Amino acid sequence: MAKTPKARISTKDGNGGETHQQAGKGSDAILTTNQGIPVSDNQNQLKAGARGPVLLEDFVLREKIFHFDHERIPERIVHARGSAAHGYFELFESLSDITSADLFQRAGEKTPLFTRFSTVAGGAGSVDTPRDVRGFAVKFYTQQGNWDLVGNNIPVFFIQDAIKFPDLIHSVKMEADRGYPQAASAHDTFWDFVGLMPETTHMIMWAMSDRAIPRTLRHMQGFGIHTFRLVNAKGKSTFVKFHWKPKQGLSSTLWDEAVKIAGADPDFQRRDLFETIASGDFPEWELGIQAFDEKFADSLPYDVLDSTKIIPEEVLPVRPIGRMVLDRNPDNFFAETEQVAYCPANIVPGIDFSNDPLLQGRLFSYLDTQLKRLGSTNFHQIPVNAPKCPFGNFQRDGQMQMTTPTGRANYEPNSLAQAGEEGGPRECPATGFTSFEGRPEQGEQGGKLRIRPESFADHYSQARLFFRSLDPAEQAHLASAIVFELSKVSLEHVRTRVLANLVNVDPELAGRVADGLAMPVPQASKPAAPVKDMELSPALRLVRGPHEKDTLQGRKFGILIADGSDANAVHSVITAVKKGGGTPFVVAPKVGGAKLSDGKVMAADGQLAGSPSVLFDAVAVLLSDEGCAMLLKEGAAVQFVMDAFAHLKAIGFSESAAPLLDKAGVESDEGVVDAAKFAGAAGKRYWDREPKVRMLA
């Protein structure tokens, strides 16, 4: 029989009775609701059958999500930092055979929309370029009402069940007792959660890859993540997954580059989106679908209702159905970008939900999080409302918080007790509230249960598929990213557990990470289901993959000049960049410009000290002998060239600029070219250079 927690804070209620404001601490503390009802299962929602819909009567879920949704005032709890634009969706061909949705009926018809991109973990005042998932939310203003397609730039998610979302976000946000780090996952609590939740493994592969550090908002994909349904006029249902593919191609930054961009321009991606649209170079995405029936879904070795899984494009090709063009910036940032409210429950006839348990939880959560009314979720702490028995859980903060939680554990599961810290209360199957299973209602798949189907148990096969499908350069980036993040984790048992999970993904990956941490490779953790080798998917690659484009279109190129630079060479490079669809940006030691060899002053777009090469996709260094001699003494000039080389960018140079390249440690390769050949080399990165410039795991 469970022990009653002893430690508590007691006060007197308005009638003179005692009310216990906080549960006891220690391993015998019982997890309860805010009304003091013991919780038997904090891992699963109450569903009608293992794969059935979530039941509204699940008060444990509703209270937990309700409290979580109101913890931050007034900014969004997640996706707080966003940038947005107006545009339209144009349909390529009628989809009347599979859906009755009005916007999918008439080819060529344009539907207005508003799209918001965002980071997840940071606050509204954080920077644009952290390693993070990016939100990709589109509001279609259709003739049947608003349809919100609310997704991310990554097609899978960390968790399988929405009841774990508060725990996930608590773990990745600033640690509870110290308030840092901001907009970063490289810390103990996040990786503690990851190590304890193997279902996060596939998403971790994506989050530690270059997908999580996109070059711009215009150069990333978008995904609906979940399996949805399309329903035609005859009531026939078709499963569907949504994909956004940028016409501009996919592009990412290097980690070192992302860090330096954050220092040089914290608003880099927001500025890029705004200025690109303002210039008339409208970003465009192709909307595609993977449509399939129940028979196809049943044939797959994974469950299409599991949001930690993808259907590789090689298994089911993406069918293009339309395009999105963003052609107008908001008139007022607060009125539009900040106040826009997206909700996955906003659908129109012809589109419907699946029983994906993560989606089902989002349908409740998003509507609730928009309320943001003045008031408090801590109404249960008012004496007249407070329970008369101990209560304790991981619901935190909010207005009128009258208790003072201690320690950094505000998520579950956690293993902080292994390090001698407070771990907090736990669920209690023996005494916790359980629903009466009853008989299946008509149309439901089974009795009311808190359970996950066995088809969700494979947490490693697709993580293995993702890692092994990457180019060797991307694999090195991913391994190095994990080494960096785990190097910030002070709890050794957390690092060991993560390594044990990585062994199931790929022993070589685990070995590289362990070597980077100077730790032994532990024995593999025991998977809940056998790990399968799947056919590799080249579509998952950013480097040397089908989505990588060698192009100048939509990219910006820094052209470094100084007094005496050859006028013909400078104008030739500028003309070639513009002809290729790129944007030239002239950089000079002084913002007023420089006097070229023809005696004319060329105005600069930016000063050297404020325009480092991390802001550009490639650079040309066009100097005279005198100009080079001067810049050899200027650290910003040396760094300009050094960073461009280290970030694997093309460098075009005049013969007189060679001493500056030598001082910056530039070695000759196919990306270091004569200025006349710059435009032909500037459309890509030179990945074979990377082993020369940095140590990777």
Q: DSSP states of 388-400 as a string?
A: SS----S----TT
DSSP state, 683? T
Instruction: Give the residue among 673, 608, 674, 675 at the shortest CA–CA distance from 637.
Output: 608
- Helices 165-172 and 188-196, axial angle in degrees (round to 10): 150
DSSP state, 532? -
- Helices 59-69 and 165-172, axial angle in degrees (round to 10): 30
Scan for tokens 């101990």, then name that residue: 390
pTM of the model: 0.82
Non-local (6+) Cβ contacts of 178 within 8 A are 408
Instruction: Output the pLDDT for position 517.
Output: 98
Residues of the chain with CATH 3.40.50.880: 556-693
Residues of the chain with CATH 1.20.1370.20: 457-540
* H-helix or E-strand spanning residue 674: strand 672-674
Question: In whole angstroms, how far apart are CA 417 and each of 192, 197, 414, 421?
Answer: 12, 17, 8, 5
Instruction: Output the pLDDT for position 269.
Output: 98
Rounded (10°) CA dihedral 358, 359, 361, 362: 120
In this structure, CATH architecture of domain 556-693: 3-Layer(aba) Sandwich (3.40)
The CATH code of domain 457-540 reads: 1.20.1370.20
Q: Which CATH class is domain 82-159+197-371?
A: mainly beta
State how far the Cα of 472 lies from the Cα of 470, in Å rounded to an integer.
6
State how far the Cα of 615 lies from the Cα of 218, in Å rounded to an integer.
15
Instruction: Give the residue among 324, 316, 276, 265 at the shortest CA–CA distance from 292.
Output: 316
Active-site residue, selected from the candidate residues 152, 346, 355, 504: 152
Non-local (6+) Cβ contacts of 136 within 8 A are 115, 117, 151, 152, 153, 220, 221, 222, 223, 244
Active site residue 243: no
Whether the Cβ atoms of residue 148 and residue 344 lie closer than 8 Å to each other: yes
Q: Which two tokens stand for residue 656?
A: 């007189």
| 190-222: pLDDT as tens digits | 999 999 999 999 999 999 999 999 999 999 999
Regions of the chain with pLDDT less than 70: 1-27, 72-73, 370-389, 399, 433-434, 436, 438-446
Residue 66 corresponds to which amino acid? F
Exposure string of 582-592, with b = 16+ CB inside 10 Å and e = fewer, is: bbbbbbbbeee
Rg (CA), the chain: 27
Exposure string of 519-539, with b = 16+ CB inside 10 Å and e = fewer, is: eebbebbebeeebeebeebee
Instruction: Give the residue among 545, 548, 546 at the shortest CA–CA distance from 684.
Output: 548
Active site residue 79: yes
Residues of the chain with CATH 2.40.180.10: 82-159+197-371
Instruction: Output the pLDDT for position 384.
Output: 53
Find the distance separating the first CA and the last CA of the chain, reported in whole Å: 50
Active-site residue, selected from the candidate residues 67, 70, 79, 170: 79
